[in-house]
Amino acid sequence: MNMDENKKINNEQNPNSSSKNNRRYKYKNHRKKILDSLQNENDKSKIHAAQNANKENLENKSEKKKKKNRNLPSKLTGNEDWQIALAESIEANRVSHENRLHPLKYNNSSEHKIRITPLGGLGEIGGNITVFETNKDAIIIDIGMSFPDGTMHGVDIIIPDFDYVRKIKDKIRGIVITHAHEDHIGAVPYFFKEFQFPIYATPLALGMISNKFEEHGLKTERKWFRPVEKRRIYEIGEFDIEWMHITHSIIDASALAIKTKAGTIIHTGDFKIDQTPIDGYPTDLGRLAHYGEEGVLCLLSDSTNSYKEGYTKSESSVGPTFDQIFSRSKGRVIMSTFSSNIHRVYQAISYGLKYGRKVCVIGRSMERNLYTTMELGYIKLDRKIFIDADEVSKYKDNEVLIVTTGSQGETMSALYRMATDEHKFIKIKPTDQIIISAKAIPGNEGSVSAVLDYLLKAGAKVAYQEFSEIHVSGHASIEEQKLMLVLTKPKFFLPVHGEYNHINKHKETAIKCGVPERNIYLMSDGDQVELCQKYIKRVKTVKTGKVFVDNQINKQIADDVVIDRQKLADSGIVVIIAQLDKATKTLINKPRVFSYGLVADKHDHAFSKDMAEVLGQFFINIKDEVLNDPKFLENQIRQVLRKHIFRKIKKYPTIVPTIFMM
pLDDT, mean of residues 646-662:
83
β-strand partners of 131: 117, 140
In the sheet where 157-160 sits, what is the strand order?
A: 157-160, 546-550, 555-557
Determine which of 52-56, 136-140, 509-513, 514-518 has the lowest per-residue pLDDT on average.
Answer: 52-56
HEC-encoded secondary structure of 225-256: EEECCCCCEEEECCEEEEEEECECCCCCCEEE
Same-domain status, 118 and 267: yes
For residue 590, pLDDT over 90 is answered with: no
The residue range of the domain holding 587 is 572-661
pLDDT, mean of residues 493-522:
96
Provide the percentage of residues in the chain whose pLDDT is more than 90: 58
- Domain boundary among the residues 56, 80, 101 is at 101
| pLDDT of res. 90 | 77
On whether residue 632 sits in a domain, the answer given is yes
On whether residue 590 sits in a domain, the answer given is yes
Instruction: Name the residue among 118, 114, 119, 120 with its Cα closest to residue 133.
Output: 114
364: Cβ contacts below 8 Å, ≥ 6 apart: 405
Same-domain status, 288 and 334: no
Which band of pLDDT confidence, cut at 50, 70 and 90, is reported for residue 34? low
Which band of pLDDT confidence, cut at 50, 70 and 90, is reported for residue 423? very high
Query: For strand 490-496 and strand 199-201, is the pairing parallel, antiparallel, or unpaired?
Result: unpaired
Same-domain status, 490 and 576: no
Same-domain status, 46 and 166: no
For residue 73, pLDDT over 60 is answered with: no
| pLDDT of res. 415 | 93
pTM of the model: 0.77
Tens of pLDDT, residue by residue over 140-156, are 999 999 877 666 666 77
| pLDDT of res. 123 | 85
Same-domain status, 85 and 129: no
Instruction: Name the residue among 269, 272, 262 with its Cα closest to residue 298.
Output: 262
Which band of pLDDT confidence, cut at 50, 70 and 90, is reported for residue 42? low
437: domain CATH number?
A: 3.40.50.10710
pLDDT, mean of residues 388-415:
93
| pLDDT of res. 61 | 56
Which band of pLDDT confidence, cut at 50, 70 and 90, is reported for residue 8? very low
Provide the percentage of residues in the chain whose pLDDT is more than 70: 82
On whether residue 520 sits in a domain, the answer given is yes
Determine which of 64-73, 341-350, 420-429 has the lowest per-residue pLDDT on average.
Answer: 64-73
Alpha-carbon gap, residue 274 to 260, rounded angstroms: 29
| pLDDT of res. 7 | 43
518: domain CATH number?
A: 3.60.15.10
CA distances from 504 to 494, 498, 501, 587 (A): 10, 10, 5, 63
471 marked as part of a ligand binding site:
yes
Q: H helices of 463-622, where?
A: 478-488, 500-512, 559-571, 604-620
112 marked as part of a ligand binding site:
no
Same-domain status, 26 and 61: yes
Alpha-carbon gap, residue 555 to 534, rounded angstroms: 45
On whether residue 469 sits in a domain, the answer given is no
For residue 280, pLDDT over 50 is answered with: yes
| pLDDT of res. 147 | 78
For residue 631, pLDDT over 90 is answered with: no
Which band of pLDDT confidence, cut at 50, 70 and 90, is reported for residue 583? confident
Same-domain status, 69 and 96: yes
pLDDT, mean of residues 377-388:
95
On whether residue 514 sits in a domain, the answer given is yes
Determine which of 476-480, 501-505, 547-551 has the lowest per-residue pLDDT on average.
Answer: 547-551
Same-domain status, 234 and 364: no
Tens of pLDDT, residue by residue over 552-571, are 656 676 667 777 777 777 78
pLDDT, mean of residues 481-507:
96
62 marked as part of a ligand binding site:
no
594: domain CATH number?
A: 3.10.20.580
Alpha-carbon gap, residue 631 to 611, rounded angstroms: 20
On whether residue 439 sits in a domain, the answer given is yes
Determine which of 24-38, 185-199, 250-264, 484-498 has the lowest per-residue pLDDT on average.
Answer: 24-38
| pLDDT of res. 91 | 78
Q: What is the domain count for the chain?
A: 4
| pLDDT of res. 138 | 98
| pLDDT of res. 15 | 46
Count the alpha carbons within 13 Å of 530 in the hemisphere toward its beta carbon: 12
pLDDT, mean of residues 105-120:
82
Same-domain status, 137 and 187: yes
On whether residue 106 sits in a domain, the answer given is no
On whether residue 565 sits in a domain, the answer given is no
| pLDDT of res. 487 | 97
Same-domain status, 545 and 624: no
Which band of pLDDT confidence, cut at 50, 70 and 90, is reported for residue 591? confident
| pLDDT of res. 9 | 42
Count the alpha carbons within 13 Å of 595 in the hemisphere toward its beta carbon: 25
Same-domain status, 273 and 338: no
- Domain boundary among the residues 101, 136, 156 is at 101
pLDDT, mean of residues 312-321:
94
- Domain boundary among the residues 101, 127, 145 is at 101
Tens of pLDDT, residue by residue over 12-21, are 444 444 555 5
447 marked as part of a ligand binding site:
no
DSSP secondary structure letters along 368-436: HHHHHHHHTTSS---GGGEE-GGGGGGS-GGGEEEEES-TT--TTSHHHHHHTT--SS----TT-EEEE
Tens of pLDDT, residue by residue over 296-309, are 999 999 999 999 99
Amino acid letter for position 297: L
Q: Is the CA virtual torsion 387, 390, 392, 395 positive or negative?
A: negative
| pLDDT of res. 33 | 62
pLDDT, mean of residues 190-219:
95
For residue 103, pLDDT over 80 is answered with: no
472 marked as part of a ligand binding site:
yes
| pLDDT of res. 3 | 46
Tens of pLDDT, residue by residue over 325-357, are 999 999 999 999 999 999 999 999 999 999 999
Element containing residue 97 per DSSP (H, E): helix 80-101
pLDDT, mean of residues 64-73:
51
* Mean pLDDT over each residue of the chain, to the nearest integer: 85
Q: 165, 132 in Cβ contact below 8 A?
A: no
Same-domain status, 156 and 253: yes
Which band of pLDDT confidence, cut at 50, 70 and 90, is reported for residue 27? low
Alpha-carbon gap, residue 181 to 164, rounded angstroms: 23
